[in-house]
């Protein structure tokens, strides 16, 4: 599902096994049939290993967010060149 990245913040906590977990909370918006007017918003936790180093460059841009059969999140960040080219044609 296409979602627009609105922002993010770093988070860290200890997991149930006592190990430190580092990641980002992503804040997004997307069209949804569950909302009568406007768009739905979400916050999604993602481990730092699943994010590009330049995640800040994607704020305001569309990313692809899907869930696999085990309900784990899968993210696809398009190349910034493709995103900029698409924006220039709007």
Q: Where are the domains of the chain?
A: 2-88
Residue 83, pLDDT score? 59
Mean pLDDT score, 47-66: 92
What are 52-60's contacts with CB under 8 Å, separation 24+? 52/77, 54/80, 55/5, 55/8, 55/24, 56/8, 58/5, 58/83, 59/5, 59/6, 59/7, 59/8, 60/4, 60/5, 60/6
State the CATH class of domain 2-88.
mainly beta
Mean pLDDT score, 56-74: 90
Q: What percent of the chain has pLDDT over 70?
A: 90
Average pLDDT taken over every residue of the chain: 88
């Amino acid at each position: 599902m296409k979602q627009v990245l609105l922002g993010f913040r770093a988070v860290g906590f200890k997991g149930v096994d006592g190990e430190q977990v580092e990641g980002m909370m992503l804040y997004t918006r997307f069209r949804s049939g569950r909302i009568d007017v406007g768009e739905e918003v979400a916050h999604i936790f993602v481990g730092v290993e699943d994010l590009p180093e330049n995640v800040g460059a994607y704020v305001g841009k569309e990313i692809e967010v899907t869930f696999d059969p085990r309900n784990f999140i899968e993210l696809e960040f398009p190349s910034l060149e493709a995103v900029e080219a698409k924006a220039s044609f709007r």
